[in-house]
Structure 1
């Protein structure tokens, strides 16, 4: 067999793989890499639902279990679309919903059966809160040893088990708020629940790793993530900087602790962000600004010297930038291949992503009933994400899920 024949066969196999799709028990067809994986989603609010939405985009069958009052985010308004919370809509596409009261014997039996049938169980109840219902990891593993069981908490299951797991509390306790804002101003939270999102991503990574390991061992395992650990990991250079130097970082406004110029600078009509990370870029910036003298100033010759001499350099840059608008400088500096950016609002951010071909907005659902949504950030060359199902109404899929449980019971024809 020639190399050309092998290549042709591989290409043909690849084409067959591209066209292969899997239909789940509820009629959703997907070519995604997680098609066939069933996720019992006992989570609510943000970290868990964000994780399971990403999995659902990639083809997993996600069955969202809610109490009869519904996920809290259904009531988080405004903003709204057609009376529904946009917060809820933003993180619950491609799922199916069933409302179950664990204090009701029939509902609890359905919840246990769902956990027993699932490939993945994810929950963010208070630590040990599911033990009395027989939905904790040990109980589920006893009947479903292949289960990948992911638990999300705020502060872990040891000394922080009793603490409520809100992102804002973690932003405060982790130190993030001490780093956010101007030096003379009060501490600020991030404009997004950044640690909820980060923890959701960590949960997704753990689930995918455990599924991969299960493919060889045949056995599942428990994954535990918590917002506090995700926060300390996610602050990367700030937490490491303290550990390695003993120096506690503080608020620097929009300045970077180690790099300058790296932040917003005034222009003739607003601000532009510069991100000059090395000496070559700084020399190119001096040329683009028409200030070659700055290249040779020993105070600014290296990144370290620029950082410690930032208060001398800052007004010099502001004066040079004052001759053009932010939009003009963006064009000039981008042409010089220098990292810079205008400061957009959210609409401007989405519009810019459209302009550069990222196609950030997708249509969720089909036919006349569709909603706009933000594209899953992961692109696959053969097994793309899909956006088939609108965020479900509360208990909208109860009959379908109970029917599936009935039909999938061992011994059923």
Structure 2
């Protein structure tokens, strides 16, 4: 009776091993489709899984052999106690090995299933979202759909409404334009207000400039400072009546009577100020108006009108830097053209007393002023206006944006 019990126990253990092997070998890892379309079917995760399965299969085979040998030896031992004891010892060892293999199988199966689960969020239900290259018209025009074109949609761009774009094909490239032409043969996008076309994308301000500015005025949300430091400005008329109408289409539009004032800006000894400006006239209409702070520790991006002593063309401009006593130091150059958009800037490094003049993001001139000593202070800054008693100067043109840094960028 004892031998029969052990025999059935051996059969039961073999059945468990066979079921376990079948479960492991039947695990679907979803690689058959790759093989059907000619792709490689080996994944590093699957390779690891196959190694584990192979090891488990070998161990299972060894345990099966041990169980068979111990059972056979036990049945053939008859009345020999030593052989029976040896057979039972082998059987007990095989059972321990079986327990280890079954536990290892459970753990490895759990880990393999985790490895083979899809990664990332898996959304279910609802209509499918747009494909990676599907173009959506952000203007919500009545017929907004635009056929898919090749290439990536420009960053921050808005699709031009073109309901009659029947000529578009999958090989039609995306086109970033200044304004929509509704050309049915083009897959057109344009930039939102105050975003500029830069390397095929729409970028706010100047993407080449660092982002750790102390103040940034894009003139998309009035004269608010977008740095988070709350150096917000107010748009005034020449009689100091607030008038935000001078800001539109992402620009500060200067007609000779409007400007922006920023009170209590915390100025450091080193600084950089840069503005994107377009003059309304071929020569500057007046002096000093781009950005001005005529105070101790202030600065000016200073235009010079025709007949000035620094060239007299009317396209001269420069950086004026005021020291802690209010004395001014300046460096002046000539712009080739002022009726197109250009960036104008001045940078000062208090560690070496060096002033740099920036035009279109390049240092075009510099000077060292050993006696220029500045300290930290709160100053008032005017954009589009220069206070020079008894004459006030109001610019004519447009300012796209202004960056102010409390260190020397260049």
> What TM-score, normalized by structure 2, do the two folds share?
0.20
Q: Highest Rg: 1 or 2?
A: 2
More helix per residue: 1 or 2? 1
Give the alignment's TM-score, normalised by structure 1: 0.20
Question: Which of the pair has the greater relative contact order for Cα pairs under 8 Å at 6+ separation?
Answer: 1
